[in-house]
Amino acid sequence: MEELKTLSDEWICTHLGDEYEKYSGAVVPPIFQNSLHVFPSVEAKEAFDSNREEGRYFYGRVSNPTVEIVERKIAALERGDAAKCFGSGMAAISSALLSCLSAGDHVIAVKNVYGPTNTFLTEYMSRFNIDTTFVEGDKVSEFEDAIRKNTTVIYLESPTSFNMMLQDLKEVACLAKKHNITTIIDNTWCTPIFQKPLELGIDIVVHTLSKYFGGHSDIIGGVVVSRKDIIDRIASRERELLGGILHPFEAWLVLRGIRTLPVRLRQHQENAMKVAQFLENHPKVSRVYYPGLPSHPQYELGKKQMKGYSGLMSFEVKTTSDKLKQFVNSLKMFKIGVSWGGFESLVIIPCASWSDDQCKEYGLSKTMVRIAVGLEDADELINDLSDGLAIV
Ligand SMILES: *Cc1c(COP(=O)(O)O)cnc(C)c1O
């Protein structure tokens, strides 16, 4: 593992796991689309059972060679010992949480986490008498004040969903270590190209692969990265027993996505920065939520712990809910849809149906729009937004 730390992200993305000699010189490793691996003798099977050494496979719910290439690449990108892939981001997130929690434990999570993560903590884990305290996350003292005797997990997402607030990863990790609390972060927005939380002391990184890793809006998947002891435990418990491994064909498509991840992210960043600057200077836009803008309240912290900014942002429009819908309906380049991280630009009005109380609790507005800036021409995207904003 040590030597992997000296490899460039670009090399890991393009070439780690090629192993031409193993695959008849194929420039792209093949898909292992098989559910089991057979043994040459009873003795070989018995030897495997007594020591499941690396590189040997026996059943597809437990491991698969194609899935393992994805795991090696992402572990190397995140500078972790190991990684395990799952059938969705939520399978990875729920497995990571379950691996750290027992009945009666307490979790501290940032308030604006990904919606289904919030639901999992509040409506599912509560069945096991696991309580979650939500904090804004911009002050380390908030985490400290929320710690109880039975706190075992601090769950982060930086930037958070919708309002793009950051947490000081180094400081939170340091606090958690003092109290023997495991830190987990959803690093989907940044990807390891722009942020490497394990290097800052965070224990476990989770990602959906359905966004930038896949990058082409054609797969659903997830991954957990951490130290070897933690990953070994997740592999033999949550992944093997809950059974949510990523499928080989999806893994093969993720490999294709990863080969171009740094290039795509550079373009997402360039486009998003232009769009964010346009929006910030538009008279009908009251606020832009994007950590790449110097006006972001945590811009300095972002520069310290992130190497770049991806393409997802939110902004508030000075208008009525009805006119906001007209604006979104009028857009031609931005398709109306959830998800993000693909080649295409997308738009939603996340809080349109929220109650006033809900908006207040999360500090979000009904006239907030979220856009995923894709790989189209930035000027075309800006012209589209400009035409749309002219009608609000
Ligand atoms: C989409 C998303 C997830 C969930 O991923 P799935 O693959 O849809 O389960 C988790 N976290 C963030 C930040 C996301 O955007």
Atom of ligand 1 minimally distant from the CA of 209: 7
Domain of residue 294 covers 262-389
- The CA-based dihedral angle spanning residues 45, 49, 52, 55, taken in that order and rounded to the nearest 10 degrees: 10
Distance between CA atoms of residues 152 and 65, nearest Å = 34
Number of CB atoms found within 10 A of residue 52's CB: 12
Question: Looking at ligand 1, which residue's alpha carbon is closest to its atom 2?
Answer: 208
| 136 in the same domain as 45 | yes
Q: So what's the pLDDT on residue 301?
A: 98
Domain boundary among 259, 277, 307: 259
The helix or strand, by DSSP H or E, that contains position 222, with its residue range, turns out to be strand 222-226
Q: So what's the pLDDT on residue 270?
A: 98
Atom of ligand 1 minimally distant from the CA of 211: 1
| 85 in the same domain as 17 | yes
Domain boundary among 197, 226, 259: 259
Query: Does 159 contact ligand 1 (Cβ within 6 A)?
Result: no
| 255 in the same domain as 235 | yes
| 82 in the same domain as 137 | yes
| 120 in the same domain as 26 | yes
For residue 339, the CA-to-ligand 1 centroid distance in Å is 8
Query: Does 64 contact ligand 1 (Cβ within 6 A)?
Result: no
Query: Does 114 contact ligand 1 (Cβ within 6 A)?
Result: yes
Domain boundary among 259, 285, 320: 259
Distance between CA atoms of residues 212 and 262, nearest Å = 10
Q: Scan for tokens 């305290």, then name that residue.
A: 133
- Note whether 302 and 166 are within 8 A (CB): yes
| 353 in the same domain as 275 | yes
| 293 in the same domain as 173 | no
For residue 101, the CA-to-ligand 1 centroid distance in Å is 21
For residue 224, the CA-to-ligand 1 centroid distance in Å is 13
- Looking up residue 357, the CATH number of its domain turns out to be 3.90.1150.10
pLDDT (tens digit, 9 = 90+) per residue, 288-344? 999 999 999 999 999 999 999 999 999 999 999 999 999 999 999 999 999 999 999
| 237 in the same domain as 276 | no
Residue 233, amino acid: R
- Note whether 217 and 342 are within 8 A (CB): yes
| 276 in the same domain as 357 | yes
| 234 in the same domain as 119 | yes
| 209 in the same domain as 102 | yes
Residues of the chain with pLDDT under 50: none
Domain count, the chain: 2
Strand bridging mode 312-317 / 285-289: antiparallel
Distance between CA atoms of residues 222 and 74, nearest Å = 11
Query: Coil, helix or strand for 272?
Result: helix
Number of CB atoms found within 10 A of residue 368's CB: 22
Of residues 289, 292, 290, 288, the one with CA closest to residue 306:
292
| 167 in the same domain as 22 | yes
- Looking up residue 25, the CATH number of its domain turns out to be 3.40.640.10
Give the chain's end-to-end CA distance (angstroms, integer). 55
Query: Does 188 contact ligand 1 (Cβ within 6 A)?
Result: yes
For residue 163, the CA-to-ligand 1 centroid distance in Å is 16
pTM of the full structure: 0.97
Q: Alpha-carbon Rg of the chain, whole angstroms?
A: 22
pLDDT (tens digit, 9 = 90+) per residue, 101-142? 999 999 999 999 999 999 999 999 999 999 999 999 999 999
